[in-house]
Amino acid sequence: MRKLRWAISALIVGLMLPLTTAVLAEGALVEPTGRVVLTVSGKIGATNSGDTAQFDMEMLRALPAQSFSTSTLWTEGVHEFTGVPLAVLLEELGISGGTVDAWAINDYLAEFDVARLEPDVPIIAYAMNGKPMPRRDKGPLWLVYPYDSSDRYRTELVYSRSVWQLDRLEILE
């Protein structure tokens, strides 16, 4: 009985661990130690650098990850993409509504309505086939949808939101 209870507690803790991420330490965002790949600004509830939240790869990898395999308009064949769902990252920062502007290195911009985001889609992909993506292959961060899984992911709007070389998110009202 003791053992069973211990096993159940261990199971519960095990299930909860992925929810309490290593990124938020006691409600405060940890600081990046590696190269900053993503900066979130605007109406955010957690910061680690002035008014912004900065992420290095390690911090992104510490968040709950999602993977799927799909072809894309911009790559050959089917590849596995891994990343943190945009909705998950926003939730970590205490963002539950408003608009998100996603900016690329070249100042390309796409807009998202937070309330209409799916929980797992799109992902901020940081790996393709388990490997980091260099800039020339649309990395290091690329907003990717599972295009092959449904025709609702094969629309011009979704394509236009597939921001590669993503480096900034701005949270607006």
Ligand X SMILES: Nc1nc2c(c(=O)[nH]1)N[C@H]1C(S)=C(S)[C@@H](COP(=O)(O)O)O[C@H]1N2
* Residue 164: contacted member of Mo ion, ligand X, none (CB under 5 to 8 Å, by partner type): ligand X
109 with 102: CB under 8 angstroms? yes
Taking CB under 6 A as the rule, does residue 72 contact ligand X? no
63 with 23: CB under 8 angstroms? yes
Extract the tokens encoding 160: 């236009």
Site string for Mo ion, 132-171 (x = CB under 5 A): ----------------------------x-----------
- Site size toward Mo ion, by CB under 5 A: 1
Residue environment code for 6-36, b if the CB has 16+ CB neighbours within 10 A, otherwise e: eeeeeeeeeeeeeeebebbeeeebbebeeee
* Residue 104: contacted member of ligand X, Mo ion, none (CB under 5 to 8 Å, by partner type): ligand X
Identified binder of ligand X from the candidate list 134, 149, 160, 172, rule CB under 6 A: 160
